[in-house]
Amino acid sequence: MENFNVLVDGLPPALIYLLIAGLVFAEAALFFGFVFPGETAIVVGGVLASQGKLSMPVLLAVAVVAAVVGDSVGYEIGRRYGPRLLETKAMKRHESKVGKAQDLIRRRGAFAVFIGRFTALLRALMPALVGSSKLPYPKFLAYNLIGGVAWVATFTFGGYFAGAAFEHAAKLAGRGLAIGLAVLAVVALIVWSVRRHRREAAEEADARAEGVPLEQSRP
pLDDT tens-digit readout, 87-127: 777 677 767 777 778 888 888 888 888 988 887 777 888 88
User: Distance between terminal CA atoms of the chain?
Assistant: 40
d(CA 169, CA 47): 14
Q: Provide φ and ψ at 55, rounded to 5°.
A: -90, 125
Report the 10 Å Cβ neighbour count for 85. Answer: 21
Q: Do the Cβ atoms of 144 and 127 come closer than 8 Å?
A: yes
HSE-up (13 A, CA, CB side) for residue 129: 26
pLDDT tens-digit readout, 164-207: 776 655 555 555 555 565 566 666 666 666 666 566 556 555 55
Please give the pLDDT value at position 82: 76
Report the 10 Å Cβ neighbour count for 173. Answer: 12
d(CA 11, CA 218): 47
What is the pLDDT averaged over residues 142-157? 93
Over its C-alpha atoms, the chain yields an Rg (Å, rounded) of 19
Q: Which of 147, 151, 138 is nearest to 75 (CA)?
A: 138
Please give the pLDDT value at position 217: 42
Report how many helices (DSSP H) and strands (DSSP E) the chain contains, helices first.
11, 0
Assess whether pLDDT exceeds 70 at residue 130: yes
